Amino acid sequence: MLKIENLCKSFGSIKAVDDISFEVKRGEVFGLLGPNGAGKSTTISIISTLLPPTSGEILFEDNSIFKNPKNIRQKLGVVPQDIALYPTLTGYENLKFWGNIYGLKGTELKKRISEVADIIGLNGRLKDRVEKYSGGMKRRLNIGSALLHKPELLIMDEPTVGIDPQSRSHILDTVLGLNAQGITIIYTSHYMEEVENICSRICIMDEGKIIASGTQQELVELVKEKTQINIKLDNINEDLLNGFKSINGVFDAKIFEDMITLYGENGDTMLAEIISKVSEQKSKIQSIDVQKPNLEAVFLHLTGKALRD
């Protein structure tokens, strides 16, 4: 659906986007994950045709968006990172304003506002001024503004920043609901849990570059040796430790008080062997905790930095 090819954008000496390429397929929830300043919003502004690139090409349904920006503008909805609402107007008036911009009028607009209000769960509150809304409600209305013209592709730039967990989970459910209705979604975030939960494929950006991309499973494979298993045991001894070290896929094992920590390749296949070693040594497991590598670990592995400040 959307192909980004060797995209670059410089602001003076800052390379905000530095030769990135990726493809978004129709029907997917595509995640763009990266820390502050990675270049996510700049990439989105270029896709939205609000900002020209320094170089590179973007194809939407095989046509350059720079040659024919109208084509993508009609089919694209963008939820900006900075909330774009008029605080002194009501929720309804805000949606009406955005609907007018997309060329919607009269009964068609009214009907669509009501549909969108249902999707974002604000139907009872549209008569209130936006300045009286909570942070989460403003975020939801911000999403609604991008849905009025029924976009085929929805780009969401950090739509859950600064809101409570309940609103966050409402927004994530909304994203999945929209996707189930056939809308393709590009979801930008620096919260790896969100991206892990809802995205089928993910690009990790840092300092203008894509440092890794793939499904969550493929990305986590990059740090497969980092699975950690903590086992609390009744009876710890050197034989047990050495037994653990001999398990296929275990790189290292260490004793910490009443616990043995194993570092290995694949937690699932190691577990069965761990249990058999424990019974061989007539010990007993009190608790076992498997920590699989996540996207945070992938980012740390690739950049040496934490994803969040």
Ligand X SMILES: Nc1ncnc2c1ncn2[C@@H]1O[C@H](COP(=O)(O)OP(=O)(O)OP(=O)(O)O)[C@@H](O)[C@H]1O
Would you tell me which residues interact with ligand X (CB under 6 A)? Answer: 11, 14, 16, 34, 36-42, 81, 190
Taking the least distance from each CB to ligand X, the nearer of 159 and 267 is: 159
Half-sphere exposure of 44 (CA within 13 A, CB side): 27
Q: How far is the CB of 76 from ligand X (least distance, A)?
A: 18
CB of 229 closer than 8 Å to CB of 256:
no
Residues of span 73-92 touching Mg ion by CB under 5 A: 81
Q: Does 142 bind Mg ion (CB under 5 A)?
A: no
- β-bridge mates for residue 50, sequence order: none
Q: Does 48 bind Mg ion (CB under 5 A)?
A: no
Tell me the C-alpha distance between 174 and 194, whole Å.
13
Q: How far is the CB of 224 from ligand X (least distance, A)?
A: 27
Number of separate helices (H) and strands (E) present in the chain: 11, 14
Q: Does 94 bind Mg ion (CB under 5 A)?
A: no
CA distances from 105 to 94, 95, 154, 204 (A): 14, 12, 22, 40
Q: How far is the CB of 137 from ligand X (least distance, A)?
A: 22
Taking the least distance from each CB to ligand X, the nearer of 157 and 220 is: 157
Tokens in use for 66?
A: 């720079």
Q: How far is the CB of 39 from ligand X (least distance, A)?
A: 4
30 secondary structure, DSSP code: E
Taking the least distance from each CB to Mg ion, the nearer of 44 and 95 is: 44
User: Which ranges of the chain does DSSP label H, i.e. alpha helix?
Assistant: 40-47, 69-75, 91-101, 106-119, 135-145, 165-180, 192-198, 216-221, 238-245, 267-280, 295-303
Q: How far is the CB of 40 from Mg ion (least distance, A)?
A: 5
Q: How far is the CB of 48 from Mg ion (least distance, A)?
A: 13
Phi, psi of 186 (to 5 degrees): -110, 120
Q: Does 283 bind Mg ion (CB under 5 A)?
A: no
Binding-site partner at residue 16 among Mg ion, ligand X, none, CB < 5 to 8 Å by type: ligand X
Taking the least distance from each CB to Mg ion, the nearer of 42 and 227 is: 42
Taking the least distance from each CB to Mg ion, the nearer of 151 and 159 is: 159
Q: How far is the CB of 42 from Mg ion (least distance, A)?
A: 8
Taking the least distance from each CB to ligand X, the nearer of 12 and 124 is: 12
Taking the least distance from each CB to ligand X, the nearer of 81 and 266 is: 81
Phi, psi of 159 (to 5 degrees): -75, 0
Phi, psi of 308 (to 5 degrees): -110, 150
Q: Does 45 bind Mg ion (CB under 5 A)?
A: no
Tokens in use for 244?
A: 């653990």
Q: Of 41, 111, 108, 102, which Cα lies nearest the Cα of 74? A: 102
- Options 4, 41, 58, 60; binder of Mg ion; rule CB under 5 A: 41
Binding-site partner at residue 94 among Mg ion, ligand X, none, CB < 5 to 8 Å by type: none
Q: Does 43 bind Mg ion (CB under 5 A)?
A: no
